[in-house]
Amino acid sequence: MLKRGNSEYETKTKEAAFLDFRSPEIIRSIPSPRVLNSHYPCKLVPREMLQKGTKIVHVMRNPKDAFVSFYHHMKPMLNDTFARTFQDFLPLMLGDYGIYMFYPWFSYVKEWETFSKQHSDQILNLFFEDLKEDPVREIKRINDFLGTDRSDDLIRQIAESCDFKKPQES
């Protein structure tokens, strides 16, 4: 919304520009400037993004909330031999496989922390909980970081459009 300069809700799903699920050809076909998203660990992000100084808005989440959310996301796919309860599931997330079952969660966080220290001008770290607590403040931070120079009025409109309590029309 900041890049487009309006508060209209995007009708495409986030998967349309999800690095995790799209081929490089599809990603390259998205008109520039691209707004992409990913769950990739830092070391799997395409090198050219890191080398070109591409701006990264990195949204993190409180580990407890992330683990509980992921458990409920995965629960329909779990079976009795894998993990029946959250207590059974938690060691799997903290162990060899990590929160996304593909990469250790602590390694993921540590790698992004190291990148952030080395490239502080290229990355803005936000917390999901802060976005919920004061969306206007956090959207202003994104606006400043991206240099989109949007008005306070538009920022408030974006916050209202993205309110977690507001159902999105599909």
Q: So which residues are the catalytic ones?
A: 39
Q: Quote the tokens at residue 10.
A: 């995007």
Q: Are 116 and 58 in contact (CB under 8 A)?
A: yes
Q: Is 98 left (phi over 0), alpha (psi -120 to 50) or beta?
A: left
Q: Is 100 left (phi over 0), alpha (psi -120 to 50) or beta?
A: alpha
Give the C-alpha separation, 23 to 27, whole Å.
6
Strand, helix or coil for residue 5: coil
Q: What radius of gyration, in Å, describes the C-alpha atoms of the chain?
A: 18
